[in-house]
Amino acid sequence: MDSFSSGRPFDKACPSGLLLALLLAQNNIPSVVLESWPHLDTRLRATQYGVPATRVFRRAGILEDIRKASIAKFPSICWRRVSDHQKLIGLDLSLVEDDPDRMTILPLGEIIQILYRHCLERGGGLIDVRFNHEVTNVGQDDNSAYVDVNIKGQGTTKTERLAADYVVGCDGASSAVRRSLFGREWPGQTLPYRFVVQNVYYDGFQNHNWDGGNYMVDNDHWGLIARRGKGGLWRVTYGDPVTGLTDEEYLARRPAHMKAMLPGHPDPDQYRIEQTNLYNIHNRCAESFKVGRVILAGDAAHVCNPMGGYGCMTAVLDVGGLADCFIGYYHGLSDEDILDKYAEIRRDIFIRYVDPRSIKNLNRVATSDPHTVLDTDKFFGILKDLQKDEESMRAFLLCVCIIVKTIFLNLKPFFPLGDSRDSHISTSTALCSKSIKIIVNHPTVCFIKVIINMRLDITAVLASLALTVFADRMEVFTSCGGFTCNSSDAWFYTDYGTYKVNANKGCRGTSVPAMVEFCVDWDNRRAHFRFSGQVKRCMVQDSESAYGCAATCYETTWREIPCNWRMASEENPATEIASSAFVTMTKAAGN
């Protein structure tokens, strides 16, 4: 490994390149991680990660160390009104405090140090981390891709070109890899706030019985106050609605924000601030996550505002899915098209779910009326219902909240569903016939040397994917069942997670928390469902594509519409499938 003297210990870095390298090394795939900075990244960024990210951390072998470094308990998340600090509603995380899949809590800077240590200790010579390697340009031809790097030594800088078969850019929001592909084009929006993040020590949190995470609802002083580390460390994050100031002017406004938001309304001499970072916040997504031999992941591909914790979790899920695709390619279980599937599906997830949901999370705390939001916000209405039943709440807190979509070529998935991906595929199954190289960045650029099987008689693959989703829609994958099609493999997307349901014709119960009715009418391509305490809601089929059984079965998508079946003149409301009692029907879809 190349070594450079930075005059300080390594203490900073981006996780995406290191996490990808670690996941690949577990499958005997070597990599070189290029980091533009001379040290790891200690800036104040993400601190909490949902169930899907927790599972990726476990796969990478770092979850145990994260748990040890984290605080012992994170008992709750709540929403408070700033004017009187009244708790509006909350989530009781003690219901899942002993579950291994529970939310992960640790500042990203500490996770990066854990990742780096594991790369050194467990890499087995397969991971080469190079600091002071700044990627300045990316290019490609028909046979390879390359990066131009500035390599900084003590008082010197030299330029070098590294060639590879692929370049994977994990180099953050200011990505040199993305700019090489699209210039300054990055569709989306810059939000009208300056985001101020600080580590705070304040006895008033304990004195006023605050704990866990506290979303602060107010038009002028919105944000998140959360316990984040041992020794009384809290993270206070807020968005200043005034734009166009200097950093010094924003910091001069900080005491007023802190006085309004913190319990006890303290003056500056009553708390200690140890570190501060200021950010502009954006919701943006690249036009494509793959152009030829160049691939984007994490913040290089997309960014969103931090309310709800989607940013880093989405990046973790990006590289987890991309690692699966490279591993499948490496082991001869997929051809190169799997990388296109990664780019297509991960972008679709961001556009459909992450982007709009993160905006809703932001608006909930920043633009809602603090005095009426409890009654008007749809998500809060769902939480009210969940609070009536501990099992439903527990299911909500542990819902996989992840879209696991298998891309079938010959109906043989690369990995089985669930957490069985913790196991590794034997390298003896691959007929290695071609050497390729791949590259990444944060500042990090991961330079991945891969040996793959170039056989084209591929059987199947998994494109792993991800994310808490918040849209009322359904996706059904029919499969062969004798001479019929079976629609028991469907995904129902609710306002708070994603659940597998049986979408065969008829009415039945589901595992969706608080759902008391679910009926599908394949003859008329429509469905309806009902949550406890809510009115009936309806869906119609939106699209279909031939899927299996010699193209007689289909993959279909469904979308929610107003419950008025006369949207199509030929439909008669009287033909709606009966739902007065649950029945079990196994009639094949479309039959």
Predicted local confidence at residue 581, as pLDDT: 31
Question: Is residue 183 predicted with pLDDT exceeding 90?
Answer: yes
Host H or E run for residue 236: strand 233-240
Place of tokens 């913040």: 299
Predicted local confidence at residue 547, as pLDDT: 58
pLDDT digits (tens, 9 = 90+) for 124-153: 888 888 899 999 999 999 888 899 999 998
* Range among 12-16, 447-451, 581-585 rated most confident: 12-16
- Domain ranges within the chain, ordered by starting residue: 15-72+103-186+286-363+385-452, 471-575
CA 176, 462, 449 angle in degrees (round to 5)? 45
Instruction: Catalogue the E-assigned strands of 403-483.
Output: 405-408, 434-441, 445-452, 460-463, 473-481
Average pLDDT over residues 35-59: 90
Alpha-carbon gap, residue 557 to 474, rounded angstroms: 6
pLDDT digits (tens, 9 = 90+) for 68-79: 999 989 999 999
pLDDT digits (tens, 9 = 90+) for 219-274: 999 999 999 988 899 999 999 999 999 999 999 999 999 999 999 999 999 999 99
**Amino acid letter for position 246:** T
- Which residues, including other chains, have CB under 8 Å from residue 224's CB and lie 6 or more apart? 213, 214, 215, 216, 235, 236, 237, 238, 306, 307, 365
Between 473 and 17, name the one with better pLDDT.
17
Average pLDDT over residues 439-446: 47
Predicted local confidence at residue 482, as pLDDT: 56
For 22-31, 403-412, 474-483, 526-535, which range has the lowest pLDDT when averaged over its residues?
Answer: 403-412
Predicted local confidence at residue 586, as pLDDT: 26
Question: Is residue 422 predicted with pLDDT exceeding 80?
Answer: no
Q: Percentage of the chain with pLDDT > 90?
A: 49
Average pLDDT over residues 179-186: 95
Question: Is residue 123 predicted with pLDDT exceeding 80?
Answer: yes
pLDDT-based confidence at residue 530 (cuts at 50, 70, 90): confident
pLDDT digits (tens, 9 = 90+) for 369-391: 999 999 999 999 989 988 998 98
Predicted local confidence at residue 466, as pLDDT: 26
Average pLDDT over residues 177-195: 95
Alpha-carbon gap, residue 67 to 100, rounded angstroms: 10
Predicted local confidence at residue 68, as pLDDT: 95
Question: Is residue 474 predicted with pLDDT exceeding 90?
Answer: no
Predicted local confidence at residue 548, as pLDDT: 56
Predicted local confidence at residue 483, as pLDDT: 57
Question: Is residue 496 predicted with pLDDT exceeding 70?
Answer: no
What is the phi-psi region of residue 157: left when phi exceeds 0, alpha when psi lies from -120 to 50, beta otherwise? beta
CA 209, 107, 59 angle in degrees (round to 5)? 120
Q: State both tokens at 328.
A: 């499948």
Q: Are strands 213-217 and 272-285 parallel, antiparallel or unpaired?
A: unpaired
Between 186 and 451, name the one with better pLDDT.
186
pLDDT-based confidence at residue 457 (cuts at 50, 70, 90): very low
Question: Is residue 568 predicted with pLDDT exceeding 90?
Answer: no
Predicted local confidence at residue 495, as pLDDT: 53
Alpha-carbon gap, residue 487 to 553, rounded angstroms: 9
Alpha-carbon gap, residue 157 to 32, rounded angstroms: 20
- Which residues, including other chains, have CB under 8 Å from residue 167's CB and lie 6 or more apart? 138, 140, 145, 146, 147, 177, 293, 294, 295, 438, 439, 440, 445
pLDDT-based confidence at residue 402 (cuts at 50, 70, 90): very low
Tell me how far the alpha carbon of residue 229 is from its chain's centroid.
Answer: 22
Alpha-carbon gap, residue 214 to 74, rounded angstroms: 11
15-72+103-186+286-363+385-452 CATH: 3.50.50.60
